[in-house]
Amino acid sequence: MSEKLALDLPVVLPDAPDERDACVGRLTRLLQAEGMEKVHLIHEGENSRLCLHYDPQRFSVSRVRELAQATGARIGNRFHHETLRIDGMDCTTCATVIEHALQRMDGVLEASVSYAGERLRLEFDSEKIGRPAIIQRIQAFGYSVLEEDHKAGWLTEHRELIFSSVGGLLLLAGWLTGLAGAPRSLSLSLLLGAYAAGGFYALRDAWQSLRSRRFDIDTLMIVAAAGAAALGAWEEGALLLFLFSLGHALEHMAMDRARKAIEALAELAPKTASVQRGGVEIKVRVEELQRSDRVVVKPGQRIPADGLVASGSSAVDQSPVTGESMPVDKQPGDKVFAGTVNGEGAILVEVTKLAQESTLARMVEMVATAQTQKSPTQRFTDRFERIFVPAVLIGVGLLIALPPLFGFPFAESFYRAMAILVAASPCALAIATPSAVLSGIARAARGGVLIKGGEHLENLGTLTAIAFDKTGTLTVGKPKVTDVVALGGDEDSLLKIAAAAESRSAHPLAQAVVTEAKRRGLSWNEARQVEAVTGKGLRADIEGKKIAIGSVKLFDGEVLPETIKREVERLGSEGKTIMLIQAGDQFLGVLALADVPRAAVRGVLERLHQLGIRKTIMLTGDNEHVGRAIANAVGLDEVKADLLPEDKVKAMEELGQRYGQVAMVGDGVNDAPAMARATVGIAMGGAGTDVALETADVALMADDLGKLPFAVALSRASRRIIRQNLWVSLGVVAILIPATLFGWAGIGVAVLIHEGSTMVVVINALRLLGFKNAD
């Protein structure tokens, strides 16, 4: 016979970024190799836990725990995860160059670079390679690794613009001196200087690409500029490099704006906190806060750490983390989050998470990581470029070599070939998708929606159906009194009797009755001789009367009045829980309770249908009556009831076959398996649960379903902008190639249109930063 032991995964394997990391698989395989019968993950509350099945004849509990921690430490010491910030990338090809260079290093298991986010996501085997060797390899290509809090100086931040401006001024001076009749050597020297300044970064990037055995956009530009110089068209070549470098500089500045929208999240948390220690209040850096520290938060201050309100009450503006538009009232025992703004009351907060573990810190980290995950469109454009650029070079070579064989002037053929190099350069295509993905993820984060990558951003916009868990997602998750039916007509008297009987019970139904009585401002005398009848109800003495309150089962063997029978049948058909109330041998009335729909659900579903979602489906473990009652109340299209967790997974598979792209919305804990089978898994209340942050593809940070239409609408807008950008970038290439081939446009015109299209797609993508929620 085997026994089980559950251990917190973050304790056993603290360095794994999430439960989907390869190190979790390594851990389970190693532990099974050590003799464990079965090792798997389970979700308990807010934690992912490692469940170990073992033979107690072979292992003691302490030995199993020791073995798990030792194995986790061994893996953690060997396999390292890093997210590094890379400086010096001035085009999407730079990211590809770094990726390919690192992926060829023995010991590097994963290297994914986001040009848009300036981030490298890295996993490496420390027994084969060290972090310094990886950084040295990056630096060998002319890039640098920055600390996360590094602030670039103005000169560093605008170096491309400076080089481009110098190139432009030298070009202008060279052209003017030529017009003025100055010696050709002076004009040529100025133009050479323009080549050097305008082509500095392009030449560097082209050389790095060639070292990686790749042809890219910079290669095309350098070859075209060199070809123009060979033809004596120095002015056109210098103009090409000036406009190319200027376009890159402006593009970089525009992308910086999107990056800063994300980096602004990290600035929300204060740098210091006022802590009560040893009877005095002292200021400490937020990084020095420990769990159980008590932090004083005065009116108007930002809360420095995740924690619980220990004393005081206030309304807290949670919009920086959850996107909620209205402040949320906080009382002792309520959760608060780092980076949120305290209202008019002073509160004392007991710290529950360290600075690096806070919801805000993890949001910032996840958004930064999301930028390194390429969307389907981005993967397509990467593959397209890998084929297209070499094909252009081959075509240009043929265009230079073949026409002269048929009597066409070599100089003219060569010039047109150089113009085609410019025309066919897919700069706009390369930046079209990353810029839109970066802007979309940044805008979502600012609105309280965490989208974990370009793939999920795009997939959200393709959904045709959405499945919802019922309890806590469509409903508030707590029972509420919905009907008070008093046979004597006095509802308040009936409710007072029920509250008096139930006030000493902690059962959720009992608490719902008491809450309703308090809401109506009622008061009552204490019940005596309260006797609970397990699973049926209770009996009590109230002011000398024998009171019984409970389900129909409590009154088995008694004849129910016809009025009571009709009410039980009517309310039961609506999926409600029934309480009958009896005094002596006389029935006084009926209470009905239900987990009621969230207030805004009907409006949310209507908005989703307007956005193009064809079907909305409920998946619930409750019976058909209960599920159907809620579905009818909120306007759902379909109900699947009486489902176990494994049934929900099968239901998602079946929905996928019927509708194609289907999302699953739940709380991220017991719905995780069904979410994994969905096109997109969407978790509610990500700010409150660690598991929701880890397991879902998209997390609605507030416990607010109203964020879902915003997320879907933003995704659809992102997809539209990506498509627009692709049409612009491919359209420009399709028009310019024949225009330059047949001599209708020269290098100068090609450069202007080429660089103009690049700026158009970036500016179009940045529109997503200002996306307005239609609600």
Which listed residue (205, 216, 469, 703) is catalytic? 469
Beta strands 615-619 and 638-640 are parallel
Catalytic residue check, 469? yes
Contact (Cβ atoms closer than 8 angstroms) between residue 76 and residue 15: yes
Cα 6-7-12 angle, rounded to 5 deg: 150
Per-residue buried b or exposed e for 388-412, using 16+ beta carbons within 10 Å of the residue's own CB = bbeebbebbeebbeebeeeeeeeee
One-letter amino acid of 748 = G
Residue 282's φ and ψ, nearest 5 degrees, are -125, 155
Quick one: 41 exposed, middle or buried, by C-beta within 10 A (0-12, 13-18, 19+)? middle
What's the CA gap between 713 and 718, in Å, rounded? 9
Listed residue (481, 381, 419) closest to 743, CA to CA = 419
Rg of the chain over Cα atoms, rounded to whole angstroms, equals 33
Q: How many residues does the chain have?
A: 775
Are 466 and 617 within 8 A, CB to CB?
A: yes
Per DSSP bridges, beta strands 294-297 and 347-351 are: antiparallel
Counting beta carbons within 10 angstroms of the beta carbon of residue 24, is it exposed (0 to 12), middle (13 to 18) or buried (19 or more)? buried
Helix/strand/coil (H/E/C) assignment for every residue in 640-702: ECCCCHHHHHHHHHHHHHHHCCEEEEECCCCCHHHHHHCCEEEEECCCCCHHHHHHCCEEECC
Instruction: Give CA–CA dist 503/528, Å, rounded.
Output: 11
Report which DSSP code applies to 472. Answer: I
Alpha helices in 15-60 (DSSP H): 22-33
Which residue has tokens 């990084």?
287
Give the three-class secondary structure for 469.
Answer: strand
Is 584 in contact with 474 (CB distance < 8 Å)? no
Label each residue of 53-90 as H, E or C: EECCCCCCHHHHHHHHHHHHHHHHHHEEEEEEEEECCC
In the numeric block, which tokens belong to residue 6?
A: 């559950």
By C-alpha distance, which of 9, 23, 2 is closest to 51? 9
* Cα 475 to Cα 626: distance, rounded to the nearest angstrom: 12
d(CA 39, CA 48) in angstroms, rounded, equals 13
Q: Which residues are catalytic?
A: 469
